[in-house]
């Protein structure tokens, strides 16, 4: 066998140099891609860590809010029970006072006639007792002679004790 011609060797060397450059270029691109992937992985891991921290904080905030709302609910329920007890007590008081209120309404309905009666009694009291007079001569407008169905004792009693009007109120 004979040695390859110089031209073939040069072409083969040029081809090997081109392949070597292409390998170096591809290795550089691979290295850059690996750095990019590694940087992206670090960013994703950091972002994932931040999201997990935010999610954990949201969970704690949710738990705090639930605890606050449960406390408010318990306070509100206690207030409702207290108000219901107050309403029950007031209803009981109203039930107890209802007959008295009805009595006062009845008294108020009877007040005008009673006021008139009290005024008349006060006027009679102001006039005072009748002056002592001779039983044989009754005062004008006073008691007259005994009626037919009278026993006469009432007339004697009227002359013995003059009528006096008064009130007890």
End-to-end Cα distance, the chain: 160
Q: What is the pLDDT of residues 20-40, one digit of tens each?
A: 999 999 999 999 999 999 999
Q: Which helix (H) or strand (E) holds 66?
A: helix 6-127
**123-162 confidence digits (pLDDT tens):** 999 888 877 765 555 555 555 555 555 455 544 544 444 5
User: Which percentage of the chain shows pLDDT scores above 90?
Assistant: 61
pTM beyond 0.85 = no
R_g of the chain computed on alpha carbons: 62
Listed residue (136, 140, 135, 122) closest to 162, CA to CA: 135
What tokens appear for 63 in the block? 């738990």
DSSP 74-143: HHHHHHHHHHHHHHHHHHHHHHHHHHHHHHHHHHHHHHHHHHHHHHHHHHHHHH-SPPP--TTSPPTTS-
Q: Are 158 and 130 in contact (CB under 8 A)?
A: no
């Amino acid at each position: 066998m004979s040695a390859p011609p110089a031209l073939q060797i040069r072409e083969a060397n040029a081809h090997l140099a081109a392949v070597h450059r292409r390998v170096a270029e591809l290795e550089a691109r691979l290295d850059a891609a690996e750095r990019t992937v590694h940087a992206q992985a670090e960013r994703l891991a950091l972002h994932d860590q931040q999201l997990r921290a935010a999610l954990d904080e949201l969970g704690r905030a949710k738990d705090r809010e639930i605890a606050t709302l449960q406390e408010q609910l318990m306070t509100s329920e206690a207030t409702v029970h207290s108000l219901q007890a107050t309403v029950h007590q007031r209803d009981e008081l109203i039930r107890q006072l209802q007959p008295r209120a009805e009595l006062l309404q009845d008294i108020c309905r009877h007040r005008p006639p009673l006021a008139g009666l009290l005024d008349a009694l006060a006027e009679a009291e102001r006039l005072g007792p009748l002056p002592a007079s001779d039983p044989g001569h009754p005062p004008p407008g006073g008691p007259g002679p005994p009626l037919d169905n009278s026993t006469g004792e009432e007339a004697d009693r009227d002359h013995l004790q003059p009528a006096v009007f008064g009130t007890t109120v």
